[in-house]
Structure 1
Amino acid sequence: MFSSDSESDLEVLEQLSDWESNTDSDSDGEIRAASRGYKRINFMQSLDDAEFTFRFRLNKSLVQLLLTQLMPFVRVTSARNHGVSPLHQLLLTLRFYALGTMLISVADFVGVSISTAGRIVRDISSAIANMYDEYIIVHQQSAEKFYRIAGFPRVLAAIDCTHIRIQSPCHVVGEEFRNRKGYFSLNVQAICDADLKFMNVVARWPGSAHDATIFNNSILRAQCDAGQFGNRWLLGDSAYPNRPYLLTSILTPNTGGEHRYNEAHIKTRNTIERTFGIWKRRFPVVALTMRLSLPKVQAIIIATAVLHNICRSNNLEEVPAEVELPPADIIEELQNMNVQDVSERASLINNYFS
């Protein structure tokens, strides 16, 4: 969080932007940082398990596992990072995810210049994001677990969008990223399974894009249209149109079956809201305003989603946010009543919930 009596954090964060780079000043900064002679701490030894997990959001064993996978993609010796070890590069990036926008803190934490810290965060985030296909997978094994929540059958996943706050990219296209609540954001679509793990994440649409627009232009929709997931359903809120494979709740239920359908639908769909909440608390960087260029923001969103799944798959306990997070946005989406296909929903209500 920024202090009210200092602009130093803003000045630091501006150095991260792709549109503000100065080779000479970066070089001078690198020389000054190298000349300080920081002795980097072995946090694996100096911190106990609980403190390590709180600071870096992953425990020691998961950091070691992740480090092994990242080693082929991490630069160890170059003019850009002055020999910062892969472990310290990873820990610096994880610390940035934990603190949100305080890049100056993570630079001092490991003993590097601000520009070096920015490059490390960029490189490590991109390397983790490239592991997407390994850890974020659409599968059909959660139907039984979804059913246990509220008795809703044949559920593939819950779907929703969440806004990730950013600074205005530039004056030319900036207004495209201003959402209906007035701030700049990326509107990120995700689906999750019953274990609160991401199965698909789309992080390329500006904040002004409607949830239904994002879905209609996604590969996920094309897969659903092609019948790739059989008779499974996605559960979405009223921002989405009904489809044979995407069911929403009923705005004005009348019959007992419709009320039971709504109750089961809402309880089951809540899994995606819980997933977003756990993700943002573990990695506050995606809950606060990111003052970075769009490619860096997108890499961080995907990287933290990958890390979220790693934590869930290894049953790592939730950890509270280390910084104060903004209140959760209130969902006020308006239902798009055009081209609704409610036949599948009506059939389900008549045959199952009535």
Structure 2
Amino acid sequence: MDRDVNEIDEFMEDLANLTDVSDYLSSSDSEGRKEERRIKKSRLIPFYKTRKDILTYFCEEKLMRTFRFDRVSIEYITALLEHLFPKRKTKAKRNLRPLDMVLIALQFYATGTFQTVVGNVLRYSQSSVSRSISWVSLALSLISHKHICFPANLNNLKIQFAEIARIPGIIGCIDGTHIRLQRPTVHEKAYVNRKNYHSISVQGICDANHKFLSVCATKPGSCHDSSIFKCSTIGKKFKAGDFGTSIMLGDSGYANTPFLIIPYNEPTEAYKTRFNAAHKTTRCVIDRAFGILKKRFNVLHSEIRMPPVKRLGTITVACCVLHNIAIDLNMPLDDEWGTDNTDFEDENETTECEPRPERADAQRDSFLRRLGNEKRQLIAYNIFRRH
């Protein structure tokens, strides 16, 4: 009996020892797994940290070169747009922050590089880059009416333009430019311009400080500038007399009207020649405005590869909004950013014919041309008859 008791005691002691060993091994295995997870997590920290604090990795000079805005301006733009971004969570329950989306879009506008390159630099996937560009472009276009508009008081515009070359009553200069795009799959021929490449035709009106007052970026490249102006909202407002006796200056691609004055064609009188010189000096502000726009945002200077075509208009308007913001915030323009094509190869100095209007419209247009010729003659004779 005593022997049986002793054997039982020995068995229980051995069992206790085995339990202690098992607990020890389990504890060691658990600690090992925790250590392995800790190491993996530590390797991920730098990646997420660079996303959260990405601005700290750029000096001011590199910020300007990469995004075209300084730190304060980028935060200002983000504050303007963040309430317009949709709320979207990824599977990992992490949002694309508004600041991140703005940085992605700004670099795309500034460089015009492929989206994968932008994503590699900022460490985002191509889909995140594409989504960010779309959201930021749309948000900027939604606030464009606040940043691209005529001021309530037009007198300041007239004073600033008159200081250039003495022509009175000017509130803006109008012109068009082409934004190159990939060959579209729908209505392809409509987007072929007179220089035989695919584009959208962008109409812009600017003030004496190169800020855009109106932008229309919805027409294909084959559309004539004067036709775009007629169909545009701003063109209809001028025709309806919403701007009173105020005038704009345009090149010979437009019709001469009481509200849009173009230069004389081969003038013989001295005062008309002087008027043409003053007209050219004043009107070139719109050429410079487009030059600055394309220099600051190189995406508009190169071929945009983002279907569908309608997104190009949104991107163009977005860049124009940022252009005006940059002027308001006194952002510098670096000569190293690109070539400044201020004359754009005389894009509107063309003999291309405007589509023939209907009979009633033709009579109305003829009447407007006669009034425009009389107004131009009055300005030229009264202002430039004497030196």
Residues 1:225 and 2:256 aligned together: no
Task: Output the aligned Cα RMSD.
Answer: 2.3
- Rounded Cα–Cα distance in structure 1 between residues aligned with 2:174 and 2:285: 9
5+ residue gaps, structure 1: 1-34
**1:295-314 per-position Cα deviation (integer Å, ceiling 9, x unaligned):** 22111101000000001112
User: Secondary structure of the equivalent of 1:204?
Assistant: strand
Q: Decide which structure has greater helix share.
A: 2
Residues 1:330 and 2:361 aligned together: no
- Rounded Cα–Cα distance in structure 2 between residues aligned with 1:65 and 1:245: 37
**1:279-334 per-position Cα deviation (integer Å, ceiling 9, x unaligned):** 10000011111111212211110100000000111221113464678894333322
Map of 1:11 onto structure 2: none
The answer as to whether partners of 2:249 and 2:260 remain within 8 angstroms in 1 is yes
- Rounded Cα–Cα distance in structure 2 between residues aligned with 1:325 and 1:275: 10
Deviates more, 1:179-188 or 1:76-85: 76-85
- Rounded Cα–Cα distance in structure 2 between residues aligned with 1:82 and 1:100: 28
- Rounded Cα–Cα distance in structure 2 between residues aligned with 1:148 and 1:279: 24
Q: 1:104 aligns with which of 116, 119, 135?
A: 116
Q: 1:85 aligns with which of 89, 97, 102?
A: 97
- Rounded Cα–Cα distance in structure 2 between residues aligned with 1:321 and 1:90: 23
Map of 2:362 onto structure 1: none
Q: 1:208 aligns with which of 222, 235, 239?
A: 222
- Rounded Cα–Cα distance in structure 2 between residues aligned with 1:257 and 1:326: 30
- Rounded Cα–Cα distance in structure 1 between residues aligned with 2:330 and 2:351: 36
- Rounded Cα–Cα distance in structure 2 between residues aligned with 1:153 and 1:335: 30
Map of 1:4 onto structure 2: none
The answer as to whether partners of 1:129 and 1:299 remain within 8 angstroms in 2 is yes
Distance 1:323 1:257, change over 3 A: closer
Letter in 1 for 2:383: Y
The answer as to whether partners of 1:93 and 1:124 remain within 8 angstroms in 2 is yes
- Rounded Cα–Cα distance in structure 1 between residues aligned with 2:338 and 2:234: 34
- Rounded Cα–Cα distance in structure 2 between residues aligned with 1:173 and 1:82: 40
Map of 2:279 onto structure 1: 265
Deviation for aligned residue 1:259: 0.8
The answer as to whether partners of 1:288 and 1:326 remain within 8 angstroms in 2 is no
Q: Which has the larger radius of gyration?
A: 2
Deviation for aligned residue 1:115: 1.7
Q: 2:198 aligns with which of 184, 192, 195?
A: 184
**1:249-280 per-position Cα deviation (integer Å, ceiling 9, x unaligned):** 11201111101100110000000000000010
Q: 1:297 aligns with which of 312, 331, 344?
A: 312
TM-score normalised per structure 1 = 0.84
Deviation for aligned residue 1:49: 1.7
Q: 1:53 aligns with which of 49, 64, 70?
A: 64
**1:97-143 per-position Cα deviation (integer Å, ceiling 9, x unaligned):** 11113211111122221122111111111111111011011132211
The answer as to whether partners of 1:143 and 1:156 remain within 8 angstroms in 2 is yes
Map of 1:168 onto structure 2: 183
- Rounded Cα–Cα distance in structure 2 between residues aligned with 1:284 and 1:78: 31
What fraction of aligned residue pairs are identical, expressed as a percent? 30
**1:31-73 per-position Cα deviation (integer Å, ceiling 9, x unaligned):** xxxx998333534222222221111011111111111111112
Residues 1:156 and 2:187 aligned together: no
TM-score normalised per structure 2 = 0.77
Letter in 2 for 1:134: K
Deviates more, 1:327-336 or 1:248-257: 327-336
User: Secondary structure of the equivalent of 1:261?
Assistant: helix
Deviation for aligned residue 1:213: 0.4
Residues 1:122 and 2:134 aligned together: yes
The answer as to whether partners of 1:284 and 1:321 remain within 8 angstroms in 2 is no
Map of 2:295 onto structure 1: 281
